[in-house]
Amino acid sequence: KAGVTQTPRYLIKTRGQQVTLSCSPISGHRSVSWYQQTPGQGLQFLFEYFSETQRNKGNFPGRFSGRQFSNSRSEMNVSTLELGDSALYLCASSQGLAGANYNEQFFGPGTRLTVL
């Protein structure tokens, strides 16, 4: 069974631009969560989507948004990019809702975003 895939793996943008990252979960998994990893703030939960609905949300500004499609694939969008948005963005999938008993999440390799 293929793992979680994320595209693109690397991305360079300039301040003020917007970016869309994509995540394909493991086949059969209906939950997709997004995390931001930076050297300064570490790993932080962004949000979780399940059955095309956002079910849980971390403490990030509205510039960070996401969506999930009927095939469970998910996209994350960051608008008006800031230098501080440079990070590794990790996607994780789980069979059930991750927030229910903290079901095991399987992580993708991440998308490295650099904002210049």
Binding mask 26-55 for other proteins (x = CB under 8 A): ----------------xxxx--x------x
Tell me which amino acid residue 69 is: F
The only residue of 49, 64, 108, 115 in contact with other proteins, by rule CB under 8 A: 108
d(CA 18, CA 99): 29
Measured CA to CA in angstroms, residue 28 lies from 25, 54, 110 at distances of 8, 18, 20
Smaller CB distance to other proteins: residue 84 or 109? 109
d(CA 73, CA 61): 23
Tell me which amino acid residue 102 is: Y
Query: Considering only residues 65-104, where is the footprint of other proteins by CB under 8 A?
Result: 90, 92, 98-99, 101-102, 104
How many Å separate Cα 29 from the centre of its chain?
Answer: 15
Q: How many residues bind other proteins (CB under 8 A)?
A: 22
Residues in contact with other proteins by CB under 8 A are 4, 42-45, 48, 55-56, 58, 90, 92, 98-99, 101-102, 104-110
